[in-house]
Amino acid sequence: MDDMSSRKSNALDLHIPAPRARPGDKPDFSGWSFPEPGATPKPDIDESAVEMRDFAYGLIRVLDMEGNALGPWTPHISADDLRRGLKNMLLLRAYDERMHRAQRQGKTSFYMQSLGEEAISIAQAMALAPDDMCFPSYRQQGILIARGYPLVDMMHQIYSNARDPMKGRQLPVMYSSKKDGFFTISGNLATQVPQAVGWAMASAYSNDGRIAAAWLGEGSTAEGDFHAAMTFANVYRAPVIINVVNNQWAISSFQGIAGGENTTFAARAVGYGIPPLRVDGNDFLAVYAATQWAAERARANLGPTMIELFSYRAGPHSTSDDPSRYRPADEARQWPLGDPIERLRDHLVSLGEWSEEQHRAAQEEAIETVRAVGREAEKVGVLGPGAAHTRESMFEDVYKDMPWHLREQRDEQGEA
């Protein structure tokens, strides 16, 4: 005891990071600085990682808050493609909205939306080649939508019904489609990142032209898998894009708990010698341009890029979450970088390529499309007994050929 008091003058104190605002507080984003749109230079794709250090601490922005596209990162993208991107974001939002509601109605067990982050999956899928392999996390369903995967099959998966391509084995939202370059999703966070690196290494090994891209949340960057992936990507110069979606929240833990308090997530690339890009994730044009830059770099055999997509998770983590219990209720609406759909809409309007009427019509069309597809999927069945794949199917695909012990268990189950 004596010892303790004599040392008190320099007593240590444990630091537990905490967000600036909790429920009941005014949202406070004063800790962030947002570089001006158009202010960030655009390096050549063969720029060295060392020279790119500052990109880890800046923020690539193209669209200002009035919808103007500014600066060297403004991508060459046709008005048709921009409209396609916007419509896909509207479709994704309508789909998320309906599936979220379907869970509330008891038609499925679980759902996760990407509200507020739609620009990331849609713009990135559009910037990649259709046969590049994506290793997504659970919030990039927009990739499937952008690649034209049938919405009805996505819903069959959500409903775990008899047409669920995953045969009812996966939690809803854990899609897979090899032919669409969409890797089977794992519930174990970050495991897909070294796998993406391995896939990219295999592509390079095979003198293929395809590249890989992985997505994980900022919370998941604390997993060892992320660091393993960064090491391997750097060592073997894998043609891969590692995307960290910083939507600020990992369930109820703010990004400081993952180590974002004194640095950026993009800065993690610096130590690995991987070029970092830090991008306004709600800016469709910036996300598109950064992804295109990284993809060109990978295709030129120059190796990996890490992109931090700075955004805000506007919705709950999942249907099992109520964010009003850990953050100010209106925080999402106060996010200074706005809503990705509205920002692209404003841009197209400012170009004279879109109008309020067209936008409303497109919105209604998206909702109507989802409604019609929803009816079709629900006709096949929603989660529950009777609607699923046959019970024998449970024993399939454990191995390529069913071994004797599984055949026996299947037969025994059938007799029960």
Partner 1 sequence: MASMTMIQALNSALDNMMERDPNVLTFGEDVGYFGGVFKVTEHLQKKYGAKRCFDAPINENGIAGVAIGMAAYGLRPVIEIQFADYMYPAYDQLVSEAARLRYRSAGDFTAPLTVRMPYGGGIRGGQTHSQSPEALFTHVAGLKTVIPSTPYDAKGLLISCIEEDDPVIFMEPKRIYNGPFDGFHDRQVSPWSKHAASEVPEGYYKIPLGKANIVREGEAVTVLAYGTMVHVALAAAEEAGIDAEVIDLRTLVPVDNETIEASISKTGRCVIVHEATRTSGYGAELSAMIQERCFYKLEAPIQRVTGYDTPYPHSLEWEYFPTPPRIIKAMRRVMEA
Q: Return the residues of window 143-202 that contact partner 1 according to CB under 8 A.
A: 165-167, 169-170, 174, 176-178, 183-184, 186, 188, 191, 193-202
**Least distance in angstroms from the C-beta of 396 to ligand TPP:** 25
Interface with partner 1 (CB under 8 A), residue from 400, 412, 415, 416: 400
Q: Residue 63: beta bridge partners?
A: 69
Q: Which is nearer to ligand TPP, 170 or 247 (CB)?
A: 247
Q: How far is the CB of 8 from partner 1 (least distance, A)?
A: 41
Among 68, 109, 231, 253, indicate the residue that binds partner 1 (CB under 8 A).
231
Q: Which residue's CB is nearer to ligand TPP, number 292 or number 318?
A: 318
Closer to partner 1 by Cβ: residue 58 or 181: 181
Closer CB to partner 1, residue 192 or residue 248? 192
How many residues of this chain bind ligand TPP (CB under 6 A)? 16
Return the number of the residue (122 or 212) whose C-beta is nearest partner 1.
212
The answer to whether residue 189 forms part of the interface with ligand TPP (CB under 6 A) is yes
For CA atoms 362, 368, 370, 376, give the dihedral sign: negative
3-state secondary structure the chain: CHHHHHCHHHCCCCCCCCCCCCCCCCCCCCCCCCCCCCCCCCCCCCCCCCCCHHHHCCCECCECCCCCECCCCCCCCCHHHHHHHHHHHHHHHHHHHHHHHHHHCCCCCCCCCCCCCHHHHHHHHHHCCCCCEEECCCCCHHHHHHCCCCHHHHHHHHHCCCCCCCCCCCCCCCCCEHHHCECCCCCCCCCHHHHHHHHHHHHHHCCCCCCEEEEEECHHHHCHHHHHHHHHHHHCCCCEEEEEEECCEECCEEHHHHCCCCCCCCCHHHHHCCCEEEEECCCHHHHHHHHHHHHHHHHCCCCCEEEEEECCCCCCCCCCCCHHHCCCCCHHHHCCCCCHHHHHHHHHHHCCCCCHHHHHHHHHHHHHHHHHHHHHHHHHCCCCCCCCCCHHHHHCCCCCCCCHHHHHHHHHHHHC
d(CA 246, CA 216): 9
Strand partners, 241: 213, 305
Decide the pairing of beta strands 212-217 and 276-280: unpaired
Under rule CB under 6 A, residue 319 binds ligand TPP: no
Site string for partner 1, 325-364 (x = CB under 8 A): ----------------------------------------
221 or 305: whose CB is closer to ligand TPP?
221
Among 118, 153, 225, 331, binds partner 1 (CB under 8 A): 225
Note whether 315 binds ligand TPP by CB under 6 A: no
Binding mask 229-268 for ligand TPP (x = CB under 6 A): ----------------x-x-xxx-----------------
Query: What residue 218 binds from ligand TPP, partner 1, none (CB within 5 to 8 A, per partner kind)?
Result: ligand TPP
105 binds, among partner 1, ligand TPP, none (CB under 5 to 8 A by kind): none
Alpha-carbon separation of residue 323 from 23, 223, 254, 316, 331 (angstroms) = 9, 23, 11, 6, 10
Residue 109 or residue 176: which is nearer to partner 1 going by CB?
176
Q: Which one of 78, 399, 412, 416 is in contact with partner 1 (CB under 8 A)?
A: 399
Choose the one of partner 1, ligand TPP, none that binds residue 219, judging by a C-beta under 5 to 8 angstroms depending on kind.
ligand TPP
> Angle 287-292-296 (CA atoms, 0-180°, nearest 5)?
155
Closest CA to 134 of 91, 169, 85, 183: 183
How far apart are CB 202 and ligand TPP at their closest, in Å?
24
Q: Which is nearer to ligand TPP, 157 or 255 (CB)?
A: 255
Is there binding between residue 125 and partner 1 (CB under 8 A)? no
Name which of residues 89 to 148 contact ligand TPP (CB under 6 A).
139
Comparison of 156 and 278: residue with beta carbon closer to partner 1: 156
Among ligand TPP, partner 1, none, what does residue 317 contact (CB within 5–8 Å per kind)?
Answer: ligand TPP
Nearest to 60 by CA among 87, 82, 33, 41: 41
List interacting residues with partner 1 (CB under 8 A): 133, 135, 165-167, 169-170, 174, 176-178, 183-184, 186, 188, 191, 193-203, 205-206, 212, 224-225, 228-229, 231-232, 235, 396-400, 403-405
Positions touching ligand TPP (CB under 6 A) are 139, 187-189, 216-220, 245, 247, 249-251, 313, 317
